[in-house]
Amino acid sequence: MIDNLKIKVCGMKFTANREAVEKLPVDFLGFIFYPKSKRFVGENTEPGLFQSAKLKVAVFVDENAFEILGLAKNLGFEYVQLHGKENPKTCRLLKKQGLKVIKAFNLNEDFDFASINAYEKSVDYFLFDTKTDLPGGSGKKFNWKILEKYQVNVPFFLSGGIVPEDAEAIRKLQHPQLFGIDLNSGFEDEPGVKNVEKLKQFIAEIN
For the stretch 165-177, pLDDT in tens is 999 999 999 999 9
Asked whether residue 72 is assigned to any structural domain, the reply reads yes
Domain holding 59, by residue range, is: 6-206
pLDDT, residue 207, reads: 84
Q: Where are the alpha helices (DSSP H) in 97-194?
A: 167-171
Asked, for residue 18, whether it belongs to a domain, the answer is: yes
Share of the chain above pLDDT 90, in %: 90
Q: At what angle do helices 65-75 and 88-96 cross, to 10 degrees?
A: 30
Say whether pLDDT at 137 is over 70.
no
| 1 within some domain | no
Asked whether residue 89 is assigned to any structural domain, the reply reads yes
pLDDT at 195: 98
Q: Tell me the C-alpha distance between 78 and 72, whole Å.
A: 7
Q: Tell me the per-residue pLDDT of 115-134, one tens digit each, with 9 for 90 and over.
A: 999 999 999 999 999 977 65
Note every long-range contact of 20-24, with CB atoms under 8 Å and residues 24 or more positions apart, other chains counting.
Answer: 20/194, 20/196, 21/194, 21/196, 21/199, 22/52, 22/53, 22/54, 24/196, 24/199, 24/200, 24/203
Residue 174 lies in a domain: yes
Assign residue 18 the CATH number of its domain. Answer: 3.20.20.70
The answer to whether residue 126 sits within a structural domain is yes
Residue 146: HSE in the Cβ half-sphere, 13 Å Cα cutoff: 18
Question: Model confidence at 1, in pLDDT bands (50, 70, 90)?
Answer: low
pLDDT over 70 (residue 67): yes
Asked if residue 181 is part of any domain, the answer here is: yes
Question: What letter represents residue 98's amino acid?
Answer: G
- Rounded to 5 degrees, what are φ and ψ at 132? -140, 175
Confidence of residue 140 (pLDDT cuts 50, 70, 90): confident
Q: Is the predicted pLDDT of residue 135 greater than 60, yes or no? A: no
Number of structural domains found in the chain: 1
The whole-angstrom separation of Cα 178 and Cα 181 is 8
* Nearest residue to 159 (alpha-carbon basis) of 90, 69, 59, 71: 59
